[in-house]
Amino acid sequence: MYKLLIRKQALKDLKLLQQAGLAKKAVELRGIICANPFQNPPPYEKIVYDGEVAYSRRINVQHRLVYKVLKEERLVLVLRMWTHYE
């Protein structure tokens, strides 16, 4: 198991997801990445976010859960839960 930390911006994104009716899917994805951030399926993509390596999983066609994995600390840092294209 990995410890999960959620950034302040991701918490704001969660409120937007709740308004859009997508919070359930985001919570499911958070559970998956907490157990194993590299589990496939559901598929994930390796991306560059703010100049660092991060990973992205689809919440729906437009929105994504973006996270960073710190393997040594066994920590997953959730960066965004809205869209990484903003």
CA atoms within 13 A on the CB side of 32: 19
Kindly report the pTM of this predicted structure: 0.91
Q: Is 67 part of a structural domain of the chain?
A: no
Report whether 17 contacts 9 (CB < 8 A). Answer: no
The pLDDT of residue 84 is 57
Exposed/middle/buried for residue 7 (C-beta within 10 Å: 0-12, 13-18, 19+) = middle
Q: Is 29 part of a structural domain of the chain?
A: yes
Question: Domain count of the chain?
Answer: 1
Q: Is 47 part of a structural domain of the chain?
A: no
**Residue 11 structural domain:** 1-41
Tens digit of pLDDT for each residue in 22-56? Answer: 999 999 999 999 999 999 999 999 999 889 999 99
Query: What's the one-letter identity of residue 20?
Result: A
Tens digit of pLDDT for each residue in 20-30? Answer: 999 999 999 99
Tens digit of pLDDT for each residue in 58-80? Answer: 999 999 999 999 999 999 999 99
